[in-house]
Structure 1
Amino acid sequence: MDRFHELNAFIAVVEAGGFSAAARITGDSQSAVSKAIGALEKRLGVVLFNRSTRSVTLTDQGQRYYDRTKPLVDEMDEADGELTSSTFNASGLIRIAAASTFGRLHILPLIPDLLSQNPGLQVDLVLSDFVRGMVEDRIDLAVRVGAVNELDAIVRRVAGTPLVCVGSRRYFALRGIPKTPTDLVDHNCLVYSGMTKSANWSFTGPGGRFSVSVRGNLSSNSVETIRAGVLAGVGIGLFTKASLAGELRHPDVISVLDEFVSDVRDVSLIWPQRRYVPARVRRATDFFAAALPQHI
């Protein structure tokens, strides 16, 4: 059996999530797809899929094989496209990951323009405050706010967003406005964290950088929750300005300790490290690199 046919069948099963769905995508019969996968597994000497009556999932060997072969097939498709089209257009599915609040405020509003300018693209937007593993979750492009810890990633910084400490007028009417960061020990500070109700917030004063241990009665691994808590008058929060967006113009929200808050978080576009980056990923990266600084 043709190796390329086997490989196409394998990738179709992975991305469709099953043999029947892969058959519909490829136009082959389900038996032909099953035969191609069987031939591929026999040739490689490994089992690529865990099969059950309800689902088809990759084995560890299957995942590694997909991660290695999918970029190669993409590159071949791109090469074919360049030769068969006088005006090469980026096309295909691109999976984009971003933090929930930042993605809702700044990525989602830009998606219509991205798709309008690149009608061949399909976008799968993954919004989560949990940092996604790019290879494991098959992320093509990630938008990160803050430090990037992946040593095997390609990082393109496109903007910066300063931090701001805010609370509601209702809260400050009851508790008073902190004049210095050390006053925060007497305030209810809402902590962005899934593990603890305390945190160290960093500030800059005449003597340089220092941190203040803060705590409060509400913590969460969701920026959206901390935002809602601040708006409801529960306490004080420390955010990037990009995560607050219009809230800074809200009549009930004011910033405090501005002269002590100097940190800026990078906004970066990230690719997983690999030899070949598809044109659709490059096109989306260039789009966001130009559009995000104007939107934040």
Structure 2
Amino acid sequence: MDRLSELEVFLAVVETGGFTAAARRTGTSQPAVSKAIGALEDRLGVALFNRSTRNVTLTDQGRRYFDRMKPLLEEIEDANREVMGSGADMSGSIRIAVPTTFGRLHILPIIPNLLAEYPSLRVDLVLSDLRRDMVEDRVDLVIRVGAVEEPDAIVKRVASTSLLCVGSRQYFEKHGAPSEPAELARHNCLVYGGFEEVANWPFVGPKGHFSVAVRGNLTSNSMETIRAGVLAGVGIGMFTKASLVKELSHPDVVTILDDYVQATRDISFVWPKRRLVSARVRRVTDFLAASLEGQF
């Protein structure tokens, strides 16, 4: 078996979870798969798999090798399809991670069009407000709203969205509406961001940029939770405009302190730093970017 075939067998074992399943995928026998993996491990001088009677799992070296070799083989497959005149046939999978609210409002509606454009594509869409490790979680593309904290990542900024300070008419009728940011200190402000009880919300005044420390009786690492609390009249929240697409036209939703809130947040596509990004990921990225253009 040549070296490229060994790599294809290696990927099949990882993705199917076993030698027998990999043999079915590659159209070979289980002994042939074992032989190919053994030859690859001997050539590399490391064990790629932990083997037991029940399952096969990657070693740390195997995981790193998989993360580097998968996009390389995908690029080879894409190049072969282009040469054979089938470049638009994007078979295979892509895993996309996106914040929950942004994903629900802006990415989910695009997915049917993406799959219609590329029927052979398989999309694994992960909606989570947790910051995911792109390599460890085997994520091909991350969509970020706000700062990108991965220093080695490849970042493509595609849009920006303004911040808004928002409450419900129900809340303001009961507690009054602040006329300047400092008054937020006496209001119930719902804090997004996890375990922090206090948040520093950014504002701009005659003397430049400043922040106000706010707190309230509800904190969460889920933007959906904070959004629901504000809409129910529990307190005041700070959101990106992209998180409140429909609510801004609702008669019970009121933006406040508009003259003081001028900050924006970037919307970026992020890839883990690899030697190359597969054509599949590039095409999906271009499709999503074009679909999002002008929305914010």
Taking structure 2 as the reference length, the TM-score comes to 0.94
Partner of 1:92: 92
Deviates more, 1:12-21 or 1:114-123: 12-21
Residue 279 of structure 1 aligns with an amino acid whose one-letter code is A
- Tell me the equivalent position of 1:124: 124
Q: SS of the residue aligned with 2:149?
A: coil
**What's the CA shift for 1:276?**
2.1
- For 1:71, the equivalent position in structure 2 comes to 71
Distance change >3 Å, CA 201–CA 39, structure 1 → 2? same
Matched with 2:284 is: 284
Residue matched to 1:16: 16
Aligned CA distance change for structure 1 residues 208 and 9 (closer, same or farther; 3 Å): same
Number of equivalences? 296
CA distances 1:85-125 after superposition (whole Å, capped 9, x unpaired): 26543332111111111111101110111111222322111
Structure 2 CA distance for partners of 1:295 and 1:57, relative to 1, 3 Å: farther
Instruction: Quote the offset at 1:205 in angstroms.
Output: 0.8
Equivalents in 2 of 1:56, 1:250: separation in Å?
Answer: 53
Structure 1 stretch 154-163 or stretch 11-20: which is displaced more?
11-20
CA distance in 2, matches of 1:209, 1:234: 28
The CA deviation at 1:65 is 1.1
Identical counterparts, % of pairs = 66
Structure 2 equivalent of residue 271 of structure 1: 271
The aligned residue for residue 83 of structure 2 is 83
Whole-Å separation in 2 of the counterparts to 1:153 and 1:61: 21
Is contact 2:140–2:272 with CA below 8 Å preserved after alignment? yes
Separation in structure 1 between the aligned mates of residue 177 and residue 88 of structure 2, nearest angstrom: 58
AA partner of residue 249 (structure 2): R
Aligned to 2:26: 26
Residue 48 of structure 2 aligns with which residue?
48
Q: Distance in 2 between matches of 1:104 and 1:201?
A: 25
Match of 2:38 in 1: 38
CA distance 1:183–1:60, shift in 2 (3 Å): same
Partners of 1:287 and 1:87 in 2: how far apart? 15
Distance in 1, matches of 2:149 and 2:164, equals 23
Equivalent-residue separation in structure 1 for 2:212 and 2:114 (angstroms): 42
Residue 273 (structure 1) shift: 2.4
- Give the whole-Å Cα distance in 1 for the aligned partners of 2:279 and 2:26: 22
The CA distance in 1 between the partners of 2:295 and 2:109, in whole Å, is: 9
Describe the SS at the equivalent of 1:281: helix
Structure 1 counterpart of 2:209, which letter?
A: R
**Alignment correspondent of 2:239:** 239
User: CA 1:53–1:163 in 2, change beyond 3 Å: closer, same or farther?
Assistant: farther
Question: How does 1:139-158 map onto structure 2 within 5 Å?
Answer: 139-158=139-158
Say if 2:125 is the partner of 1:164: no
Residue segments in structure 1 that go unaligned for 5+ positions in a row: none
Q: Partners of 1:21 and 1:242 in 2: how far apart? A: 43
Distance of 1:32 and 1:295 partners within structure 2: 52
Partner of 1:113: 113
The 1:61–1:118 alpha-carbon spacing in structure 2 relative to 1, beyond 3 Å, is same
Question: Aligned residue for 1:173?
Answer: 173
Q: Distance in 2 between matches of 1:252 and 1:225?
A: 18
Where does residue 187 of structure 1 map in the other structure? 187
TM-score with structure 1 length normalisation? 0.94
CA RMSD of aligned residues (A): 1.7
89-98 vs 28-37, which deviates more?
Answer: 28-37
Q: Output aligned runs, 1:191-270, within 5 Å.
A: 191-270=191-270
The residue that corresponds to 1:133 in the other structure is 133
